[in-house]
C-alpha cells in the first residue's frame, strides 16, 4: 500500500490551518477556541505521522517522491513543491509532531495569564508547519523555503515579549547570526545547481558521483574540489541553524522567549534542521573526506567547550540551553564520522528528554513565580514531586545512564568516534569523552540546586495580603525577590506532557537501537561508503540492547558519569561552601567560562560596534564629504556663484546693455577677420 498525496498534504497543512484560524480569527474564537484549533491541527498531523511511520515500517509502503505543484519554470529549470517521504522523513515527522503536540498542550497552562495567548498559539503552529515543509521537501528550493520559514518564526517567538529590550536583542541576534549561516547555505545550493544542473534531490544524488575530479577555480592558481566546496557551504548553513561553534552565540539568548518555544526550538525543530539536512545530503558528503573532517572538528569543539559553559550558569533554562549546544555537537560528531543514522538516532532520543527538561524547567519557573535563578531555589522536591521525578528521568537520559534512551544513542556515538580513522577523530574522541563528564556535572548540579538541599527562600507575612517569599544568600543575608505563595505542583496540562515525555526518554532507545543503528532501518535514505561504515564495525559486537547496557556499566563514559555524580553530590549536597572555594581556586577558568570565552564580546566589538563605526566612517567620508559636500552642496555652491556673477551683469541700465552689444559685435567681427586672414595666408 502506498502513501497518498492527500495524507501528506494534510500532515503539512493542518498546523497551517490552525495557525491562520488562531491568528486572524482569534478575536472571535477566544482563548479556548484558539488553542483548540491549533492543538487539533497538530494532533491530526501527529496521528497521520504515526500512520505514515507504520506504513513505511510494517505496512509495506514504499518511498513517496512526487512533485505536487510547480512554482515557476525558466528554460529547463523548474522549482516545484514536492514531498519526499521515506523512513528518515517519517521519523522526523513523528518526533516533530509529537513534541509539538505536547508543547501545545503544555502552553495552555504556561501562558494562561499572558496577553498574547492567541498570538503565541498561532506562532507555534506556524513553526510546526514550517518544519514539516523542511523535512518533507524533495528539492533544495523547498528545503530553503522551510529553512527560512523556521528562522522567521523563531525570530517572532524569541522576541514574543517584544516590550523587553533583552528579548528584542535576542531575536535580532538569532536572526543576524543565522543570516551568516544561510549565506553559506545559499552558496552551497547555488553550487549544486551549477555543477549538477538540478535542485531535485533524487537527480542530484544520482549524478553526485560526477563531482569526483571536478574543481572550482578560485584564483588563477587555486582550485578547490567541487564536492568539498558544496558540502562545506551547506554545512555552514547547518552551523547557523544547529548552533555550532562559532555560530552558536544566538542559542543561549533564545531563552528570552517563553519556555514552550525554548522546548520546541531546542528539542524538535529549528536546531535539529541542520543535523537532518546533513543526514539527507549524505550522498554528497560521502564524496569529501575533507568536508567530513571539518564537520567532525567543529562538532567536537562544540560538544566540549559549550558544555563547560553550562557548569557556571545560574539560570535554569540557560543550563539546559548550553546542554543543547553540547548535544548538538555530539550529533555533528556522528555526522563527521559518517554515522548519519547515529546522528539522527541521537536527534530523536534527545528530542524527548530535552523537551522534558525544558518543560520541567518551565514547571519550576511557574511554581517559583517566574524566578529562574537556581541560587534562589532548593528543596523543591517536596512541593513538586511529579516535576522532580520526571526531570530526574530526563537528566538520567541526558547523562546517558545505561538502559535510558540517551545511553543508547550517545554511547554509540562515542564508540563510533573511537573506531573512526578520519582526520580529527582523536581530537573528537577526547572531546566527546570529556564531554560525558562535563554533561554529568552541570546536569547533577542543576538538579541539586533546584530540588535538593536546603530551601534558599523563606515565607514572610505580607500584612494580611497573603505571603511573600524572600530570597536569602548562603550567609543568611537578604537577597531579592518576592512571591505571593509557596511553590506548588503545576496543573495537569503542564505535568501530563512531562509524564508523556518521560516514557520515551526511558524506553524508546531500548526498543529502537537495534533496527535504527544496526539493522539498516533507514535503507536508501542514508548513503554511507563501505570504507566509512563505522557502524558496521560496531555492529559486529552488538548482541542486543540489554547486553549493550550491561556492557555500558563497565565503560569509561559511565565511569566518568559516576565520578561526576560523586563530585557534584559532595559539593552541592554535603559541602555547599566548597563551590565557592573551587570557584576562587579556578578563578581564571571560571572567568573564561562565565564570560563565554569572550566570544560574544568579540562579536559585539568587531561586528556590532565595528559595523556601526564603519558605517559612520563611510557616512562621514563618503556620504557627507563626497556626496553631500562635494556633489550636492558643491554643485549648488557653484551654481550660486555663477548666478551671483551673472546677476551683477544684469544691472537694468540701457547703456550697459548697448555697450555689451557693441563689444560683442567687435569681438565677432574680429574673430571673423582673423579667421579669413589665416585662410588667405595659406
Could you report the per-residue pLDDT of 241-272, keeping only the tens digit for each? 998 999 999 888 888 888 888 888 877 678 88
337-352 mean pLDDT = 94
User: Helix, strand, coil: what percent of the chain each, to 5?
Assistant: 75, 5, 20
Flag whether pLDDT at 102 surpasses 90.
yes
pLDDT > 70 fraction of the chain, expressed in percent and rounded: 90
CA angle 175, 311, 170 (to 5 degrees): 15
Closest CA to 492 of 391, 387, 388, 394: 387
User: What Cα–Cα distance (Å) separates residue 349 from each residue in 49, 107, 122, 354, 512?
Assistant: 17, 22, 27, 9, 10
pLDDT of residue 477: 45
pLDDT at 465: 46
DSSP 3-state assignment of 244? coil
Place of cell 518555544: 261
Classify residue 314 by its DSSP letter.
Answer: -
According to DSSP, residue 64 is labeled E
Distance from the Cα of residue 567 to its chain's centroid: 32
| Distance from C-alpha of 262 to C-alpha of 468, rounded to nearest angstrom | 29
Backbone angles phi, psi at 601, to 5 degrees: -65, -40
pLDDT exceeds cutoff 70 at 115: yes
Distance between CA atoms of residues 136 and 154, nearest Å: 19
Does residue 525 register a pLDDT over 80? yes
Query: How much is the pLDDT for 625?
Result: 64
Of 478, 325, 512, 311, nearest in space to 407 by CA: 512
d(CA 75, CA 65): 23
Q: What is the pLDDT of residues 486-514, one digit of tens each?
A: 888 889 989 999 999 999 999 999 999 99
Among 35-49, 327-341, 590-604, which is the least confidently predicted range?
590-604
SS (H, E, C) 626-657: HHHHHHHHHHHHHHHHHHHHHHHHCCCCHHHH
**Whole-number pLDDT of residue 498:** 95
pLDDT at res. 464 = 44
**What secondary structure letter does DSSP report for 139?**
B
Question: Residue 555 has what pLDDT?
Answer: 93
Alpha-carbon distances of 400 from 344, 394, 439, 571, rounded to whole Å: 16, 10, 9, 22
Query: Which residues, in sequence order, are CB contacts of 612 under 8 Å at separation 6+?
Result: none
Q: How many CA atoms lie within 13 A of 113 on its CB side?
A: 3
- Interhelix angle for 492-513 vs 340-367, to 10°? 160
pLDDT, mean of residues 38-47: 96
| 542 Cβ contact list (under 8 Å, min separation 6) | 514, 517, 518, 548
Say how many C-beta atoms besides its own lie within 10 A of residue 344's C-beta.
29
Strand locations in 96-252 (E): 215-219, 222-225
Cell of residue 519, nine digits: 539493522
CB atoms within 10 A of CB 9: 14
pLDDT band at 348 (very low <50, low <70, confident <90, very high): very high
Q: Which of 76-90, 168-182, 558-572, 646-660 has the lowest mean pLDDT?
A: 646-660
Torsions phi, psi of 353, nearest 5?
A: -80, -25
Q: Is the pLDDT of residue 304 over 80?
A: yes
Query: CA-to-CA distance for 675 and 672, rounded, in angstroms?
Result: 5
pLDDT at 624: 65
Report the C-alpha dihedral over residues 428, 294, 355, 566, rounded to 10 degrees: 20
Please state the rounded mean pLDDT for residues 136-153. 93
Question: Which helix or strand (DSSP H or E) is residue 80 part of?
Answer: strand 77-85
Q: What angle do CA 617, 618, 623 make, to 5 degrees?
A: 125
> pLDDT confidence of 103, banded at 50, 70, 90?
very high
- Round to the nearest angstrom and report the end-to-end CA distance of the chain: 104
DSSP H/E element including 339: none
When pLDDT is averaged across residues 274-286 and rounded to a whole number, the result is 95
What pLDDT shows up at residue 444? Answer: 96
The string of DSSP codes covering 452-485 is: SSS-SEEEEE-TTS-EEEEEB-TTS-B-----SS
**pLDDT reading at 481 higher than 60:** no
Q: What is the mean pLDDT of residues 517-526?
A: 91
Mean pLDDT of 33-61: 94
Q: Provide Rg for the chain, Cα atoms.
A: 32
DSSP for 558-610, please give it. Answer: HHHHHHHHHHHHIIIII-THHHHHHHHHTHHHHHHHHTGGGHHHHHIIIIIIH
> Are the beta carbons of 418 and 432 closer than 8 angstroms?
no
- Mean local confidence (pLDDT), 3-23: 94
Bridge partner residues of 67 (DSSP): 82
- Among residues 266, 234, 327, which one has the least CA distance to residue 127? 266
pLDDT digits (tens, 9 = 90+) for 374-420: 988 888 999 999 999 999 999 999 999 999 999 999 999 999 999 99
User: Residues 234-245: what's their mean pLDDT?
Assistant: 93
Q: How confident is the model at residue 459 (pLDDT cuts 50, 70, 90)?
A: low
CA distances from 96 to 108, 144, 337, 464 (A): 19, 18, 25, 48
All residues at 6 or more sequence positions from 350 whose CB lies less than 8 Å from its CB, including other chains = 267, 327, 331, 406, 409
| pLDDT tens sequence across 531-562 | 899 998 888 888 899 999 999 999 999 999 99
The answer to whether the CB of 504 falls within 8 A of the CB of 352 is yes
Per-residue pLDDT at 55 exceeds 70:
yes
pLDDT above 80 for 614: no
| Average pLDDT over all residues of the chain | 88
Identify the H or E element spanning 441. helix 425-451
CB 172, CB 255: distance < 8 Å: no
Amino acid at each position: 500500500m502506498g502513501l497518498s498525496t492527500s495524507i501528506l498534504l494534510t500532515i503539512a497543512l493542518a498546523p497551517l490551518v490552525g495557525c491562520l484560524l488562531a491568528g486572524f480569527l482569534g478575536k472571535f474564537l477566544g482563548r479556548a477556541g484558539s488553542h483548540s484549533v491549533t492543538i487539533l491541527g497538530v494532533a491530526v498531523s501527529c496521528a497521520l505521522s504515526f500512520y505514515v511511520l507504520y506504513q513505511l515500517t510494517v505496512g509495506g509502503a514504499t518511498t513517496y517522491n512526487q512533485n505536487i505543484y510547480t512554482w515557476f519554470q525558466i528554460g529547463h529549470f523548474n522549482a516545484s513543491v514536492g514531498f519526499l517521504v521515506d523512513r528518515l522523513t517519517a521519523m522526523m515527522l513523528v518526533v516533530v509532531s509529537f513534541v509539538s503536540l505536547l508543547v501545545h498542550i503544555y502552553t495552555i497552562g504556561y501562558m494562561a495569564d499572558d496577553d498574547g495567548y492567541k498570538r503565541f498559539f498561532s506562532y507555534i503552529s506556524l513553526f510546526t508547519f514550517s518544519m514539516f515543509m523542511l523535512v518533507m521537501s524533495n528539492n533544495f528550493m523547498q528545503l530553503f523555503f522551510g529553512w527560512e520559514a523556521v528562522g522567521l518564526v523563531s525570530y517572532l517567538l524569541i522576541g514574543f515579549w517584544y516590550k523587553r529590550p533583552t528579548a528584542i536583542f535576542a531575536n535580532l541576534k538569532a536572526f543576524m547570526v543565522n543570516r551568516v549561516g544561510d549565506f553559506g547555505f545559499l552558496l552551497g545550493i547555488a553550487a549544486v545547481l551549477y555543477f549538477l544542473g538540478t535542485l531535485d534531490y533524487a537527480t542530484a544524488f544520482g549524478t553526485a558521483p560526477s563531482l569526483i575530479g571536478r574543481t572550482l577555480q578560485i584564483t588563477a592558481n587555486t582550485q578547490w574540489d567541487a564536492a568539498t566546496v558544496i558540502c562545506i557551504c551547506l554545512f555552514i548553513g547547518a552551523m547557523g541553524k544547529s548552533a555550532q561553534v562559532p555560530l552558536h552565540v544566538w542559542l543561549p539568548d533564545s531563552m528570552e522567549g517563553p519556555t514552550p518555544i525554548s522546548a520546541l526550538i531546542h528539542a524538535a525543530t529549528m536546531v535539529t534542521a541542520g543535523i537532518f539536512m546533513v543526514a539527507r545530503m549524505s550522498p554528497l558528503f560521502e564524496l569529501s573526506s575533507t568536508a567530513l573532517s571539518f564537520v567532525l572538528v567543529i562538532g567536537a569543539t562544540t560538544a566540549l567547550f559549550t558544555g563547560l559553559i553550562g557548569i557556571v550558569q545560574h539560570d535554569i533554562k540557560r543550563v539546559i540551553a548550553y546542554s543543547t549546544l553540547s548535544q548538538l555537537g555530539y550529533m555533528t560528531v556522528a555526522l563527521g564520522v559518517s554515522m548519519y543514522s547515529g546522528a539522527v538516532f541521537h536527534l530523536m532520543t534527545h528530542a524527548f528528554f530535552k523537551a522534558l527538561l525544558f518543560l520541567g524547567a518551565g514547571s519550576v519557573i511557574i511554581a517559583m513565580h517566574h524566578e529562574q535563578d537556581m541560587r534562589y531555589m532548593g528543596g523543591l522536591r517536596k512541593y513538586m514531586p511529579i516535576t522532580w521525578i520526571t526531570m530526574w528521568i530526563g537528566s538520567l537520559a541526558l547523562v546517558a545512564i545505561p538502559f535510558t534512551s540517551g545511553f543508547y544513542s550517545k554511547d554509540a556515538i562515542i564508540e563510533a568516534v573511537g573506531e573512526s580513522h578520519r582526520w580529527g577523530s582523536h581530537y573528537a574522541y577526547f572531546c566527546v569523552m570529556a564531554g560525558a563528564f562535563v554533561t554529568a556535572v552541570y546536569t547533577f548540579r542543576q538538579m541539586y540546586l533546584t530540588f535538593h538541599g536546603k530551601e534558599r527562600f523563606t515565607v514572610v507575612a505580607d500584612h494580611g495580603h497573603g505571603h511573600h517569599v524572600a530570597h536569602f544568600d548562603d550567609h543568611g543575608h537578604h537577597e531579592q525577590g518576592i512571591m505571593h505563595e509557596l511553590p506548588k505542583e503545576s496543573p495537569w496540562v503542564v505535568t501530563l506532557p512531562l509524564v508523556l515525555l518521560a516514557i520515551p526518554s526511558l524506553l524508546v532507545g531500548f526498543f529502537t537501537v537495534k533496527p535504527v543503528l544496526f539493522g539498516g532501518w533507514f535503507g536508501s535514505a542514508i548513503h554511507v561508503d563501505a570504507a566509512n561504515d563505522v557502524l558496521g564495525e560496531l555492529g559486529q559486537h552488538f548482541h542486543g540492547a540489554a547486553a549493550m547496557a550491561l556492557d555500558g556499566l563497565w565503560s569509561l563514559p559511565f565511569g566518568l558519569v559516576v565520578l561526576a555524580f560523586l563530585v557534584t553530590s559532595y559539593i552541592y549536597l554535603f559541602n555547599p561552601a566548597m563551590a565557592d572555594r573551587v570557584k576562587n581556586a579556578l578563578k581564571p577558568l571560571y572567568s573564561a567560562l562565565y564570560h563565554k570565552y569572550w566570544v560574544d564580546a568579540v562579536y559585539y566589538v568587531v561586528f556590532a560596534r565595528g559595523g556601526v563605526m564603519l558605517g559612520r566612517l563611510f557616512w562621514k567620508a563618503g556620504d557627507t564629504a563626497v556626496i553631500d559636500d562635494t556633489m550636492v552642496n558643491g554643485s549648488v555652491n557653484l551654481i550660486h556663484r555663477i548666478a551671483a556673477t551673472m546677476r551683477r551683469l544684469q544691472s537694468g541700465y540701457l547703456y550697459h546693455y548697448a555697450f555689451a552689444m557693441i563689444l560683442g559685435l567687435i569681438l565677432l567681427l574680429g574673430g571673423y577677420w582673423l579667421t579669413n586672414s589665416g585662410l588667405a595666408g595659406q
